[in-house]
Amino acid sequence: MSYRDDTFKSKFNDSARHLGVAPDQVISLKLRESVGSYSDYRNLLKILEHEVGIRWQKIDANLQGNGYLVGDAKVKIIIVEHETGLEILYIAGSIASLICLIPLVLHCWNSIRGRHVQQHPRDFHSIEIRRLDSNGHLKEDQALSQSAPWSAPFSFINTALTSAAEVLDTEIKHLRDDVQALMARVTELERKISKRKRAIRKTVKKTKNREKSRLNV
What pTM, to 2 d.p., does this model score? 0.66
| Residue 151 or 181, more confident | 181
The C-alpha atoms of residue 145 and residue 163 are separated, in whole angstroms, by 29
| Degrees to nearest 5, angle at CA 105 with 141 and 50 | 160
User: Does the structure show a pLDDT above 60 at 189?
Assistant: yes
Q: How far does the chain reach from its first CA to its final CA, in angstroms?
A: 72
Q: How confident is the model at residue 125 (pLDDT cuts 50, 70, 90)?
A: low
pLDDT digits (tens, 9 = 90+) for 58-92: 999 999 999 999 998 889 999 999 999 999 999 88
Mean pLDDT for all residues in the chain: 81
| Residue 134 or 24, more confident | 24
Q: Which residue from 33, 79, 30, 84 is spatially nearest to 54, judged by alpha carbons?
A: 79
Q: How confident is the model at residue 158 (pLDDT cuts 50, 70, 90)?
A: low
User: Does the structure show a pLDDT above 80 at 38?
Assistant: yes
Provide φ and ψ at 71, rounded to 5°: 120, -150
* pLDDT value, residue 153: 42
Highest mean pLDDT among 65-69, 114-118, 167-171, 180-184: 65-69
Q: How many helices (H) and strands (E) does the chain have?
A: 5, 7
* pLDDT value, residue 33: 85
Q: How confident is the model at residue 167 (pLDDT cuts 50, 70, 90)?
A: low
Q: How confident is the model at residue 47 (pLDDT cuts 50, 70, 90)?
A: very high
User: Does the structure show a pLDDT above 80 at 51?
Assistant: yes
* pLDDT value, residue 162: 58
Could you tell me which residues are beta bridge partners of residue 143? 127
92-106 average pLDDT score: 82
